[in-house]
Structure 1
Amino acid sequence: MGDATSNGLSDDKRPLKIIIVGGGIGGLTAAIGLRKQGHDVHVFEQSRLATEMGAAMHLAPNANGILRRLGLFAENFGANLMRRLTEYSAGGEKLRSMDSTEPNKRWQHPWHLVHRVELHNQLKTLATTAQDGNPPIEFKTATRVISVDPTNASVVLQDGTIFSGDVVIGADGVHSVTRKAVPGGHLEAFSSGKSAFRFLVPKQAALDDPITADLVKHDCELCIWYGIDRRVVMYPTSNNTLLNFVAIHPESESADETDGDTWGKTSNSQRMLHIFSSFDPALLKLLDKADPKSVNVWNLLDMDRMPKWNEGRLALLGDAAHPFLPHQGQGAGVAIEDAASLSVVLPSGTPVSEIPGRLELYNKIRYERAHQIQDFSRVIGQDKTEDRKSLDMMAFTNYNFGHDEWDNSTQKLREWSWSRIPNTYWRMPIAFGPMPGPRQTHFGLPRNGTKSTFITASIKFKTSRTVLQNLFPPSRSGWRFTAPDTVAYASFSQTTLNKMEWLGGSGYNHIGLYVHGVEYVKKDGSVAKGAYLPILFESLTDPIVSGREELGMPKLYASIDVYRREKSYRIRTGWQGAFWGNFLLEDLVETDPSTELGGITGDSDDGILAYKYIPKAGRVNKGIAAEEHVTFDPFSEADPKPRPQKIFKTTKASFEIDPLNWEQLPTLHHVISRLAEVPVYEIVGAKVVEGEGVPDVSGARPIE
């Protein structure tokens, strides 16, 4: 094979070089899934795949859906749909029979009974064939891995070759070598106390015998015969032409027929008939139809839980991580789920530096579910028949079948990615993740507003302090004007924003009332000074929602139409065709921008003061706040800083507020009527400012 070197720890989002140790069902599924993600996959299998056991297996909906997603449909190579479950006593008394056709309709994917060798062959063909523009997977048989380096993602082969990559996946079964490279992985599988004979019988041979024909008359039927400490499981495969048998019994009764705990050792079929001699004669006649050379015995192994399945850039799947007893028919299925999860958490573009964290995520996603199904299998395998009758088998089935690991891992990866974003803004609906907005991209990165543009027109006027004071939050202490005068100053300020990155380069309009010279006295006696913003109207939903939820700004919707001419600037505001505001600046004269100082309107306000109020949900909570506080946005923290480029001033400006009525403004009349009450003693200034740089207002925060 030659020596291969590591690709290094760069984060250039190239395809990952993935080494999979083990070419069984789980390993090949992982290989296909990761190849589908665009990665360079290499599979090392120690056997020559020349002595695979001829037996069948369950392909339940939870596993079947994953294979179908990868392009493998078991019905195309002889799999049978599971249609009926029948249980017998050891003596042949029918205990119950259930039609599983109807329950099958509950699951998104079918429940198939499939020949294990056929499934494995199909996976090999799929893996070693170019697909979707991706090359064939390199699949090396008779290649034994003897050690793994999780830190460097390298493996040592038996011939001394070191093969390095970015990720190593241990799919090398119950006697895993890769397991030993994970802390706590020096566990050894131990006998569960049971062994199983496994073999196939042609169905036609059973149908041709009047004694056994009745036992196999239904296609797609799984049958179980229960003894006190032993049982026989039978189900069809290969288009109902073969019957698969699993005859589970105390290990001690066939121990002299086994060689340790390996697969594929020839067992004396007469010994099997002796072990089950107390069972129904018709069943014994059926067992006797097995070719003696095909009857193999398998020691059923179990293993204690490992603390975890990953270390550095190594992760385990299937029996390498959690050997399964066969009593739920989920051993291969859970390995397929593991493979799907790994394929999801290592998508195209995964940086090498993130691999350990993503494998840690894989362990977190899969650990409890796999072990829960493992525990179900142990419980179902118990000998106490009375205890078995009390088990909620449907609950087990629902847990096993009602799961899609590809979709589940996709969501867990999303949540993991979201959790890594610093200072993330969250707002409803949170099910879709952090919302992109003026302060963050959909990746949670800060927005760049340096090239965004603004045109702000403002009209400043003298008015009644008392009327403005009445717009402070009701029954809220701490608010006051800096000056004790009976007059105060306020501005209507309208801004047109454009070239906004977060809006795809477009923009919107807003207009608000800014009350100057306001102070808020905090509980510790310190004072925040600014322009108080009782209301801000905006012409687009997105900034309204983000500003209300993320910043606590008092925003409502209004249509805001701007008519700009060479020397005039007119603003008309309304709601659903009902126009309530007209603002006019005339005889505008351009002035030197360098002479302009101050905040939004040229005043000495330190920032914007507002009040956030979010109601508690529910009728019983009417009038109760879920959140309320004073919000302050200091101008000194504006980022980026606005850069005025042109300023136009005038002494000729006016505005008119028409309160209309409740019919005309059914959601706004209470607001507009209050604005209409604000008297205008004198227009003291008006201007239009054009410039670049729009702050994201991320400095806005609770004041205490």
Structure 2
Amino acid sequence: MTLKELKDTSDEGLRILIVGAGIGGLTAAIALRQQGHHVEVRLSSFRCLSLLSPGTKCEICKKLFERSRFANEVGAAIHLSPNANGVLQRLGFDATKFGAVEAEQLREYKPSGEPVHIAELKKAAGMWRHLQRWLLVHRAHFHEGLKAFAQAPGRGHPAILHTATKVTDIDPHAATVTLEDGTVITGDVLIGADGVHSLTRTKLPVNHSPFSSGKNAFRFLITRQQALDDPDTNSVAQDFGAVDMWDSSDRRVVIYPCDNNNLLNFVCIHPDSMTTIDAGGDSYNQQIGKDTLLEVFKDFSPQVKKLLEKADPATLKLWPLLDMETLPEWVHGKLAVLGDAAHPFLPYRASGGAMAIEDAVSLAVMLPRGVEKGDVEERLKVYQIARHGRATTIQQMTRESAQLISMEKAMAMVGYIYGHDEFDHSAQVLRKYLWSKNPHMYWRQPIVFGPMPGPRQDWMGNDRALKSVESTFMTASIKFKTSRTLLQNLFPNDRYSFTSPSTVARASFSQTTLNGMDWLGGGGYRHIGLYIHGVQYKKENGEVLKGTYMPILFENLADPIVSGREELGMPKLYTAIDVHERRSSYRLQTSWQGAVWGHFEFEDLEDQDPGADKGTIGGEDDDGILVYRYIPKVGRDTKGEAEAEYPVFVPHAQESKVVPSEVTRLRRTKNAKVEISGLGWDALPTLHHVVERLAEIPIDEVIDAKITEGRGVPDVSSAQRIE
């Protein structure tokens, strides 16, 4: 079954109990309610940090026990990095409605104030898809927005938020939650989102306690106007969306805006030996004297010290930066932990809240509508598979970022962390898990028929050398920007990757009509394929081949399909391709047995110089076409085993030498569109699993649309096995 069909099989939904109403817990509530489940969120128990005897609550704890810490948090803003904001947008949550500010500049300085590096974040926004703006938001405003969104009418059952009583115990096997008043609540799934001092984490087979990272941080907010009114600090506040950072070997001051650019948020990191955390207080909201703040950063520039002097002592907070050993397991029975409960982060690379958000949406992907209660425990294990490696890798990156690192290393981190879409990633992990449930499935690329006479040999086995020089072609292609994560799910293995770390990928739907083909008695045929640009294949010896990857090619004639699959390893399937051409328009539709699944339209075509065409599908950096060959073994006792499985490469340079091609006409337009519908199994019984995946590909922006005509059709005889 496909992921979409899994969501549509039942409306009953699971009862999901979430312990913890922070960013991760509320995001999980939103994502899971949208999957059709019944979600209840309860505040976690407050674990006393004092040295009183077990079971005794100090006066501070008694007060805090009745309220969420977010309701009182005044000195906290966070980054919504592109990877986090992207998945929130896909849930329908727009943080800009709650005062979020787009990050436009990152300015780094030495403690003396000397500039080190200025990055224009908004100009680099082309690296991220349109959903993935880098935002800066006040944590309390963001939290209130999530809480309202989780409980509001809309898709799925509104989540229920309980705040009157706290959770004191859970049973991961029975999926029960015990409240302070003794009430026991039973669900189908338990999610622990109760932060770094997690109660739910204690129920895992191996539990680790948080410890000091060796750093503390001051936090506070001032109004932007305060900085603007002071000529000594005016320059820091003039530019909207600017993130400023003064960095020494052991101390760091970070300032960035939030609340519609009305407030400036300060995070001032320093060795914990310079300040003291009150073990009997709330570790997230400890008061601290301003004199201590100024003493810690006394060696920084006069401008920084002037900014720090503007802190209001009443709202200045001290925050311990905690770390924890890696948990080997995040799940136990029907319990899964997420966010800081699973992996507390240091405040570097904007990843603490982001990883909690990614954890939340991953759980929702693993628990789609219609999932059986008996499958919950296995699905939670799949969630861990999807998230554990990425989260712990980024956790280590944040530790390294506490020190001064090279720009090259920093950019590599940025690409890994922000260039990711957890919806698409987790969907692929679940898809592979579902496939693995039946290890005896026939795994085939579309290559099942035996060899036959074709374009490279005649019925006697003789070569057809240079027989297609006078054959003609007309190619209609639409090149567009789309999601890298979604497209890389179509790669057959990890040796295929994108050459760029950008979340923006480029792909084309390209349709060609061939005529005058001698091996078809002078006739022709049509084909249409998906071409993914900017792809590289890394061979076992380390050599890298760059090209355009083609996961599927549809053709409307059986003969070239069989020939291309058997002799070249091309991933070909049948579809009907109908073309309607007029003077300035070109329309085509694809169908199977009358069921139309694709519409491709070119309007307002204008002739251009034929010499302006580059002649390849991918462009300047495209050295050829990459495909993957798979042929199953024959025999009932060999299901799931491959007879042949390896990558194939078609180099453009060699192909052009076999049969040179000449472009005789070129037309372009800015008015082109693509519409693809997956239909259903009954309409497309042999194509639905392919067409549905094509329909999922978002077209963010059409880059180029053109019709190219010419003569000379290479026979693809230069196709070669890579390994």
Aligned match for 1:313, one of 328, 334, 338:
334
TM-score by length of 1: 0.59
Q: Find out whether 1:118 has 2:135 as its counterpart.
A: no
Per-residue CA deviations over 1:102-141 (Å, capped at 9, x if unaligned) read 2222101100111111111110111111212x33211001
Query: Which residue of structure 2 lines up, in the alignment, with residue 67 of structure 1?
Result: 88
CA contact (8 A) 2:217 2:318 kept: yes
Query: Which residue of structure 2 lines up, in the alignment, with residue 19 of structure 1?
Result: 17
Cα distance change, pair 413–370 in 1 and its aligned pair in 2 (3 A): same
Aligned match for 1:227, one of 245, 248, 252:
248
Separation in structure 2 between the aligned mates of residue 70 and residue 334 of structure 1, nearest angstrom: 16
**1:291 CA displacement:** 1.0
**1:429 CA displacement:** 4.8
Separation in structure 2 between the aligned mates of residue 61 and residue 140 of structure 1, nearest angstrom: 31
2:413 alignment partner AA: F
CA contact (8 A) 1:258 1:267 kept: no
Separation in structure 2 between the aligned mates of residue 317 and residue 616 of structure 1, nearest angstrom: 38
2:323 alignment partner AA: D
Q: What stretches of structure 1 move > 6 A for 4+ residues in a row?
A: 612-620
Q: Give the root-mean-square deviation of aligned CA atoms.
A: 3.5
Query: Which residue of structure 2 lines up, in the alignment, with residue 426 of structure 1?
Result: 443
**1:619 CA displacement:** 9.4
Query: Which residue of structure 2 lines up, in the alignment, with residue 508 of structure 1?
Result: none
Separation in structure 2 between the aligned mates of residue 90 and residue 36 of structure 1, nearest angstrom: 47
SS in 2 for 1:299: strand
**1:540 CA displacement:** 9.1
Query: Which residue of structure 2 lines up, in the alignment, with residue 414 of structure 1?
Result: 431
Equivalences for 1:212-251 in 2 at 5 Å? 212-251=233-272
Per-residue CA deviations over 1:228-286 (Å, capped at 9, x if unaligned) read 31110110111111000000011121116675671112111111011111111111111
Per-residue CA deviations over 1:514-563 (Å, capped at 9, x if unaligned) read xxxxxxxxxxxxxxxxxxxxxxxxx9959x979x99xxxxxx99xxxxxx
Structure 2 unaligned regions, length at least 5: 1-8, 45-65, 450-458, 462-555, 567-572, 575-641, 651-714, 716-723
Separation in structure 1 between the aligned mates of residue 402 and residue 645 of structure 2, nearest angstrom: 54
Query: Which residue of structure 2 lines up, in the alignment, with residue 279 of structure 1?
Result: 300
Q: Find out whether 1:184 has 2:206 as its counterpart.
A: yes
Per-residue CA deviations over 1:595-622 (Å, capped at 9, x if unaligned) read xxxxxxxxxxxxxxxxx998988699xx
Which structure is larger by alpha-carbon Rg, 1 or 2? Answer: 1
Q: Find out whether 1:402 has 2:400 as its counterpart.
A: no
Equivalences for 1:680-691 in 2 at 5 Å? none
1:407 alignment partner AA: D
Aligned match for 2:360, one of 310, 327, 339:
339
Q: Find out whether 1:82 has 2:103 as its counterpart.
A: yes
CA contact (8 A) 1:54 1:117 kept: no
Give identity over the alignment, percent.
Answer: 47
Query: Which residue of structure 2 lines up, in the alignment, with residue 136 of structure 1?
Result: 158
Query: Which residue of structure 2 lines up, in the alignment, with residue 366 of structure 1?
Result: 387
Cα distance change, pair 135–282 in 1 and its aligned pair in 2 (3 A): same
Aligned match for 1:29, one of 27, 30, 40:
27
Query: Which residue of structure 1 lines up, in the alignment, with residue 469 of structure 2?
Result: none
SS in 1 for 2:395: helix
Cα distance change, pair 365–212 in 1 and its aligned pair in 2 (3 A): same
Separation in structure 2 between the aligned mates of residue 296 and residue 176 of structure 1, nearest angstrom: 22
Separation in structure 1 between the aligned mates of residue 150 and residue 269 of structure 2, nearest angstrom: 34
Equivalences for 1:131-530 in 2 at 5 Å? 131-132=154-155, 134-185=156-207, 187-255=208-276, 259=280, 262-382=283-403, 385=404, 388-389=405-406, 392-429=409-446
Query: Which residue of structure 1 lines up, in the alignment, with residue 718 of structure 2?
Result: none
SS in 2 for 1:392: helix
Cα distance change, pair 68–615 in 1 and its aligned pair in 2 (3 A): closer
CA contact (8 A) 1:261 1:299 kept: no
SS in 2 for 1:297: strand
Separation in structure 2 between the aligned mates of residue 143 and residue 421 of structure 1, nearest angstrom: 45
Structure 1 unaligned regions, length at least 5: 1-10, 438-470, 474-538, 550-555, 558-611, 621-666, 668-704
Query: Which residue of structure 2 lines up, in the alignment, with residue 56 of structure 1?
Result: 77
Separation in structure 2 between the aligned mates of residue 74 and residue 349 of structure 1, nearest angstrom: 30
Give the total of aligned pairs. 448
CA contact (8 A) 1:310 1:316 kept: yes
CA contact (8 A) 2:36 2:157 kept: no
CA contact (8 A) 2:245 2:252 kept: yes
Per-residue CA deviations over 1:56-115 (Å, capped at 9, x if unaligned) read 100011000111111111222221111111111112111221211222221011001111
1:27 alignment partner AA: G
Separation in structure 1 between the aligned mates of residue 260 and residue 558 of structure 2, nearest angstrom: 59
Per-residue CA deviations over 1:133-191 (Å, capped at 9, x if unaligned) read x3321100143222221111111112111111110000000011111111112x11000
1:100 alignment partner AA: L
Separation in structure 1 between the aligned mates of residue 191 and residue 424 of structure 2, nearest angstrom: 21
Separation in structure 2 between the aligned mates of residue 251 and residue 420 of structure 1, nearest angstrom: 50
CA contact (8 A) 1:153 1:313 kept: yes
